[in-house]
C-alpha cells in the first residue's frame, strides 16, 4: 500500500508523528510525506521534525502564507500534481487546516480514498475557517477516524454512513504519553526561563477571531496583563499574534508585563504545559493537552470543539469581551482541581489510537 500523508501546520506534525511511526514499521506499506509549507519557519516547522523524529518530507510544496482562498487553491493544485505523479492507494489528512482541506479535495477529485484523522469535531461556529475545513474534509473522506464518542455522534448526525466512521481515540494522547518522559530529560525550558513548577500561567493566542478583532485582542491582553500582576504569565508568541500586537500598538506594553518568548518546540511546550498552574488558550490542541496533564484550562473563545472537557468541568470557556472578565475567569480557575473520575480517564482512548488507525487502514 502506498500512502500519501499531507501535513502543513504544527498540530499536524504531532499527529502525523504518531501514525507515521507505526506506518513505517508496517510491512508492505510505503508512506510518502508531503509538507505544504503552511507553517514554514524553523520555530513553526523544522524543530518539530527534529524533535518528533519525523522523516524529512518527500515533497515540500513551499506554499507559505496567504489568504484562505489563495493558500488553499495553491495547495490543491500542488497536491494534485503529486498525487497524479505518485498514484497512491490512500491520502491521509489530519485536523482542520487549509492543508487538510486541500489534501482531502485533491484526493476526492482524483477518486483516491481519503482518510481523515481527528474527524467529527464541531464547534458549530461556521465563522471559524477551521469549522469549514473540518466539515468539508469529513464529507470528502472515505475513512473517518474519530477521537471521541461526541465526534462519532456528530458525523452520524450529518448523515455520514456508519461503516465509514471509526472510533479510535486521539493520536495526540498517544503523543503525550510517548514524548512526556523525553521532555522531562531533554527540555531545559523551565531553567532557561527561570520558572518554578506551578509558579506561572501559560498562555497561547493565535486564532484569527482573536488576533484580527481589535476589541477582543485588547480585552485578552489587557486581561492577561492584569493577571500578570498576581502571577507570572508566559506566552510563546505566534507570528500572527506578534503582528497583531504591533498593529494595535500593544506590543511594547504587553512586553513589560508578560514573558513573551518565541514559539517553542513540542518537548519544551510539553514541559511548559505540565508544569503550569493554569493554561489560558484559544488552541484546540492545547485544551486537550491541559487535560492530559491535569492542568486547569481557560479557553478564550465563545465555543470549543472539545465540548466534553467543558461538560465535565475540566475546561472553562471565557468569551473575551472585556479585560475584567478575562482576568476574573482566569483567577477564579487558578486552583481548580478535580480527582480523575474513571469515566474521564480514557476520554481520548488508551494511547493506542495510532496502532488502531493503521490496522483499519490496512484492512481497508
- Name the grid cell of 45: 516547522
Query: Distance (Å, rounded) from C-alpha 91 to C-alpha 278?
Result: 38
> In whole angstroms, what separates CA 167 from the centre of its chain?
19
| CA atoms 206, 207, 212, 217: torsion sign | negative
> In whole angstroms, what separates CA 276 from the centre of its chain?
19
CA distances from 62 to 70, 76, 239, 297 (A): 14, 13, 18, 35
- Name the grid cell of 38: 503552511
The catalytic residue positions are 206
- Name the grid cell of 350: 488508551
Strands 278-281 and 259-261, how do they pair? Answer: unpaired
| Number of Cβ within a 10 Å radius of residue 253 | 14
- Name the grid cell of 284: 484546540
In 3-state terms, the chain is what percent helix, strand and coil (to 5)? 50, 15, 35
Q: What is the DSSP-derived secondary structure letter of residue 41?
A: S
| CA atoms 40, 45, 49, 54: torsion sign | negative
Q: State whether residue 288 is helix, strand or coil.
A: helix
Query: Distance (Å, rounded) from C-alpha 29 to C-alpha 23?
Result: 7
Amino acid at each position: 500500500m502506498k500512502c500519501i500523508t499531507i501535513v502543513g501546520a504544527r498540530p499536524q506534525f504531532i499527529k502525523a508523528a504518531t501514525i507515521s511511526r507505526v506506518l513505517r514499521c508496517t510491512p508492505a506499506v510505503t508512506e510518502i510525506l508531503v509538507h505544504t509549507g503552511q507553517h514554514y519557519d524553523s520555530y513553526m516547522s523544522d524543530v518539530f521534525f527534529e524533535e518528533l523524529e519525523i522523516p524529512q518530507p518527500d515533497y515540500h510544496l513551499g506554499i507559505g502564507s496567504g489568504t484562505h482562498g489563495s493558500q488553499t487553491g495553491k495547495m490543491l493544485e500542488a497536491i494534485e500534481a503529486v498525487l497524479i505523479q505518485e498514484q497512491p492507494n490512500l491520502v491521509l489528512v489530519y485536523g482542520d487546516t487549509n492543508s487538510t482541506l486541500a489534501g482531502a479535495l485533491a484526493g476526492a477529485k482524483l477518486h483516491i480514498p481519503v482518510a481523515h484523522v481527528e474527524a467529527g469535531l464541531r464547534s458549530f461556529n461556521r465563522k471559524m475557517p477551521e469549522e469549514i475545513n473540518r466539515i468539508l474534509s469529513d464529507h470528502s473522506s472515505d475513512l473517518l477516524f474519530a477521537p471521541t464518542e461526541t465526534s462519532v455522534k456528530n458525523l452520524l448526525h450529518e448523515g455520514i454512513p456508519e461503516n465509514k466512521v471509526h472510533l479510535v481515540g486521539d493520536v495526540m494522547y498517544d503523543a503525550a504519553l510517548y514524548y512526556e518522559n523525553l521532555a522531562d530529560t531533554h527540555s531545559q525550558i523551565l531553567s532557561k526561563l527561570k520558572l518554578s513548577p506551578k509558579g506561572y500561567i501559560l498562555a497561547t493566542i493565535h486564532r484569527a477571531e482573536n488576533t484580527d478583532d481589535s476589541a477582543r485582542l485588547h480585552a485578552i491582553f489587557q486581561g492577561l496583563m492584569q493577571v500578570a500582576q498576581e502571577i507570572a504569565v508566559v506566552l510563546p508568541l505566534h507570528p500572527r499574534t506578534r503582528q497583531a500586537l504591533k498593529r494595535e500598538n500593544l506590543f511594547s506594553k504587553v512586553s513589560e508585563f508578560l514573558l513573551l518568548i518565541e514559539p517553542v518546540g513540542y518537548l519544551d511546550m510539553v514541559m511548559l504545559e505540565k508544569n503550569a498552574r493554569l493554561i489560558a488558550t484559544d488552541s484546540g490542541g492545547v485544551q486537550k493537552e491541559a487535560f492530559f496533564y491535569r492542568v486547569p484550562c481557560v479557553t478564550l473563545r465563545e465555543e470549543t470543539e472539545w465540548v466534553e472537557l467543558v461538560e465535565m468541568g475540566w475546561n472553562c470557556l471565557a468569551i473575551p469581551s472585556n479585560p475584567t472578565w478575562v482576568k476574573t475567569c482566569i483567577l477564579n480557575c487558578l486552583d481548580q482541581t478535580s480527582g480523575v473520575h474513571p469515566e474521564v480517564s480514557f476520554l481520548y482512548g488508551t494511547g493506542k489510537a495510532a496502532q488502531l488507525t493503521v490496522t483499519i487502514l490496512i484492512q481497508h
